[in-house]
Chains A and B, each alone.
Chain A
Amino acid sequence: AQKITQTQPGMFVQEKEAVTLDCTYDTSDQSYGLFWYKQPSSGEMIFLIYQGSYDEQNATEGRYSLNFQKARKSANLVISASQLGDSAMYFCAMRERDNTDKLIFGTGTRLQVFP
């Protein structure tokens, strides 16, 4: 079974609008961490935001926020006020602290921001 599922292969958003990238996860562990990374066309992987399973507040980092719904096992990334430079692949990842401690990545969502 997929540990991390990103159902949107591609998304389009107009500049200055907000966009939500979906991520659902599968784990039986109580302690885990959720991450989002951005991969622009240049290829590097850029860390965006982290949410721990015990964090009660949704994580925020500038224009990025993580909509964490534990009961639904979802960790959607919200990008507010999209910019052209946000066009990239976005990967959701999970680390299960009680299991392998490895970071497992989803298949990614390609976001295109248009003027």
Chain B
Amino acid sequence: DAGVIQSPRHEVTEMGQEVTLRCKPISGHDYLFWYRQTMMRGLELLIYFNNNVPIDDSGMPEDRFSAKMPNASFSTLKIQPSEPRDSAVYFCASSIGLAKEQYFGPGTRLTVT
């Protein structure tokens, strides 16, 4: 069975460029989460969806960040324009309901120069 799939695995871009991260959750999971991990701030939730609807985006750092989930099998996290402080590992995770475990993708390591 395929787990959560993220692409790209690594992204290097220049400041000011648009970056789009992609996620395919596990089939049948109704919740999807986007996290960011940095040395300074640890692992923090950015936004999560239930049945493709954004439920809580209070963790999104600023208007440069946006996330969409057009269907049950695909989500994107977009940063426009990107800044060096956005450099981090971005994880997508999915779950069945909120009660128990979330399954994480392999992450996208973003470097903004």
Q: Which residues of A contact B (CB under 8 A)?
A: 33, 35, 37, 42-47, 50, 91, 95, 97, 100-108
Contact = CB atoms under 8 A, between A and B. Distances in A.
A37 to B, nearest CB: 8
- Listed from nearest, the 5 A-B pairs whose CB atoms lie closest are A45-B104, A47-B101, A105-B43, A44-B106, A102-B45
Interface stretch (B21-29, B65-73, B74-82, B91-99): B91-99
A56 B108 CA distance: 38
Interface of B: 33, 42-45, 48, 56, 59, 89, 91, 93, 98-107, 109
Given A43-B89, A43-B107, A45-B91, A103 B102 contact: yes
Contact of A35 (B33, B101, B106): B101
Contacts of B89: 43
Q: Is the interface of B mostly helix, strand, loop or mixed?
A: strand
Given A100-B56, A101-B98, A102-B56, A44 B42 contact: no
Contact of A103 (B42, B45, B106): B45
Which residue among B48, B56, B104 has the maximum number of chain A CB atoms within 10 Å of its CB? Answer: B104
A91 B43 contact: yes
B48 to A, nearest CB: 8
A47 B102 contact: yes
A47 B103 contact: yes
A44 B102 CA distance: 12
A107 B102 contact: no
Nearest to A108: B42
Contacts of A91: 43
Contacts of A47: 101-104
B42 A43 contact: no
B101 A44 contact: no
Contacts of B59: 102
25 contacts: A33-B100, A35-B101, A43-B89, A43-B109, A44-B104, A44-B105, A44-B106, A45-B43, A45-B104, A45-B107, A46-B104, A47-B102, A47-B103, A50-B101, A91-B43, A100-B56, A101-B98, A102-B56, A103-B33, A103-B45, A103-B102, A104-B45, A105-B42, A105-B44, A108-B42
